[in-house]
Amino acid sequence: MDEEKQGADIHRFITEARNGDFNAFRQIVLQYSNAMLSVALSVIGDFHEAQDATQEAFIKCYRRLHTLDDPSKLGSWLYAIAYRTSLDFVKKKKQTLPYEDAIAPSMNNVDRWLDHHMTQEMIWNAMQNLEQTSKIAIMLYYLSEWTMKEIGQFLNISLSAVESRIRRAREILKRHLTDDFEPYFRMRRLDRKFEQRVMETILRSAGHFYIPVLDRERVLDWFVRHFQLGISRHGNLLMESGHELYLLECHAHLPSDVPLLAFEVSDIEGLWHKLQHDEVKSESIKTNKFIGKHFVFYDPDGNAYHAVEKKEKTQLEYDGFDEIRSSIYRNTNF
């Protein structure tokens, strides 16, 4: 990517994220996740704990984004937050050795488990022969897929310094490790699942409601067509209450059996017939003494929703499908 365009994109992502656009911050997470992991791993020495620290660091970054005065310094700003967060993890966990799992392996996996942890410990012990900047540089080299120049910008050191540190680090690691260590790092690169997990955590911690979807535009259009919901300036669904409903595009998604949202509807039978006519998957109408008439329907990705009959009307209300009132029903553990 052209360096000038990349800088402009980062500036735009920061501005839009500050104004409440979660998708803009998602781009920042996607671009810097493995760099942040490299920093955390250099401090903690364990991939599992380093991922947790990286996720926590991104949450801090989102909450503190307004304190970043110079968008061009985003990399060094993220580095500082990741480093301090990782140090806090070490203090809290009081770790001395990098064990990835506290749970004992099953008998069938003992050999594989021991091999994995012995390899991790050998690599971590070899890493102790490197000074901190070289340790991070070599991890960035294998984990981030960044160029030497990009690594230098992130660490705030010159290109020649990056090349020198990585060269020396590789020589030292090869002297201390008999096996090829490069695949060990490359297979642990963070993917879209990590970015999705970070965004889910941020949305929940901010008190926002979201729906996991495979195709955001398709589901957005589906809600607008069938329920006449509005679209906010950030491209999210706009409820009648004024709240935004976020559609979080996922790389993979297994729909929950539990309805994510409940909609209060004045004419529930009319809605049911309309959805049948529109060929929207819906279950039959049932009656419950506590909530009255209700039924479950599904979006194109298989997410379930509850339509519940509104029991009382006011003079301001009217019959029709565009009267659907949204009330959050359930939105956890997708």
Q: What is the pTM of this model?
A: 0.76
- Token match 């300036």: residue? 233
Question: How far apart (Å, rounded) are the C-alpha atoms in residues 192 and 324?
Answer: 34
Higher pLDDT, 314 or 223: 223
Question: How far apart (Å, rounded) are the C-alpha atoms in residues 187 and 273?
Answer: 51
Q: Classify burial at 124, counting beta carbons within 10 Å of its beta carbon; exposed 0-12, middle 13-18, buried 19 or more.
A: middle
* CATH top class, domain 209-327: alpha beta
Mean pLDDT of 107-115: 49
Higher pLDDT, 75 or 8: 75
**CATH 1.10.8.50, domain 3-194, yes or no:** no
Question: How far apart (Å, rounded) are the C-alpha atoms in residues 312 and 315?
Answer: 10
- The residues, ordered by sequence, that sit 6+ positions from 156 with a Cβ below 8 Å of its Cβ are 75, 76, 79
Q: Classify burial at 255, counting beta carbons within 10 Å of its beta carbon; exposed 0-12, middle 13-18, buried 19 or more.
A: middle
- Share the mean pLDDT of the chain: 83
Whether 81 contacts 30, CB under 8 Å: no
Could you tell me which of 325, 280, 271 has the C-alpha nearest to residue 299? 280
233 three-class SS: coil
For residue 320, name the pLDDT band (cuts at 50, 70, 90).
very low
Token readout for 33 is 């996740």
Mean pLDDT of 12-24: 90
Whether 138 contacts 166, CB under 8 Å: yes
For residue 115, name the pLDDT band (cuts at 50, 70, 90).
low
Q: What is residue 118's predicted lDDT score, i.e. its pLDDT?
A: 63
pLDDT exceeds 60 at position 136: yes
Among 8-17, 114-123, 284-293, the range scoring the smallest mean pLDDT is: 114-123
Q: What is residue 2's predicted lDDT score, i.e. its pLDDT?
A: 59
Among 42-56, 141-155, 235-249, 301-315, the range scoring the smallest mean pLDDT is: 301-315
Among 13-17, 82-86, 124-128, 129-133, the range scoring the smallest mean pLDDT is: 124-128
For the chain, how many residues are written? 334
pLDDT tens readout for residues 237-282: 988 777 888 999 888 778 888 898 888 888 999 999 999 999 999 9
264 three-class SS: strand
Question: How far apart (Å, rounded) are the C-alpha atoms in residues 146 and 26?
Answer: 18
Mean pLDDT of 131-151: 92
Q: Where are the domains of the chain?
A: 3-194, 209-327
pLDDT exceeds 90 at position 55: yes
